[in-house]
């Protein structure tokens, strides 16, 4: 009886070790694929957001009384084509939820261009583009785990509260400081606050 129990235990242990071995082999094989996919998703997300920002500027330049509206219209047409290409890439590289938003944005900017050419483009479209860009940015941050990876990175070198303290420093307070002072104190927000209090503002 004891021999049977030991034999079964040996078989179970062998199966577990074999299963774990296959699991780690599979993980090792897919790791390069995950890294490649992450890099492609990051690059694609940045390209889309960069293009949205550029299109927003072009919409402003395409105002009826704009001096550069003809050139801006031409550049916007190229941007619409580029957005269509990026949307096709998103169909392969991004999750369905994110791809749906990118595809809707691609269709919307194409419709806006047609409306502009017909002289019936709605006003304030740059604000709509801004909202769509922010939505995509938030979805991309969630997809790529930006907060989690950033927290891990910050934990290696500094503390998150230091970033918050830097964010709370007014830009106008930094403008009158010399570059050496900034570089010597930027990683110590409390020290920078002390320097700002001591250095008088110009005028």
Each of the 203 residues of the chain gets a pLDDT tens digit; together they read: 656 565 556 565 665 665 555 554 555 555 677 888 989 999 999 999 999 999 999 999 988 787 888 999 999 999 999 999 999 999 999 999 999 999 999 999 999 999 989 888 777 888 888 899 999 999 999 988 888 877 777 666 666 676 676 677 666 665 555 454 444 444 455 555 554 455 445 44
Q: Are 76 and 113 in contact (CB under 8 A)?
A: yes
Tokens of 178: 């010399």
Rounded-to-integer distance, Cα 105 and Cα 23, Å: 40
Nearest to 105 by CA among 123, 79, 124: 79
Nearest to 62 by CA among 110, 133, 111, 119: 119
Q: Is the pTM of this model over 0.85?
A: no
Helix (H, G, I), strand (E, B) or coil at 123: coil
- Number of residues that this document lists for the chain: 203
**Residue 90's pLDDT is what?**
95
**Residue 63's pLDDT is what?**
84
**Residue 187's pLDDT is what?**
46
Rounded-to-integer distance, Cα 40 and Cα 93, Å: 7
């Amino acid at each position: 009886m004891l021999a049977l129990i030991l034999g079964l235990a040996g078989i179970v242990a062998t199966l577990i070790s074999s299963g774990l071995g296959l699991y780690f082999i599979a993980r090792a094989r897919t790791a390069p694929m995950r890294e490649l996919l992450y890099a492609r998703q990051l690059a694609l997300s940045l390209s889309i957001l960069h293009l949205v920002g550029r299109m927003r500027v072009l919409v402003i330049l395409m105002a009826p009384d704009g001096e550069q509206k003809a050139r801006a219209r031409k550049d916007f047409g190229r941007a619409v084509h580029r957005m269509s290409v990026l949307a096709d890439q998103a169909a392969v590289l991004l999750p369905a939820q994110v791809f749906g938003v990118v595809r809707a944005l691609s269709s919307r900017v194409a419709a806006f261009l047609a409306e502009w050419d017909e002289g019936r483009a709605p006003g304030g479209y740059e604000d709509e583009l801004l909202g769509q860009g922010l939505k995509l940015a938030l979805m991309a941050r969630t997809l790529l785990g930006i907060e989690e990876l950033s927290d891990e990175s910050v934990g290696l070198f500094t503390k998150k509260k230091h970033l918050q303290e830097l964010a709370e420093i007014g830009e106008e307070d930094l403008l009158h400081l010399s570059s050496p002072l900034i570089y010597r104190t930027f990683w110590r927000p409390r020290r920078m606050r002390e320097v700002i209090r001591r250095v008088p503002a110009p005028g």
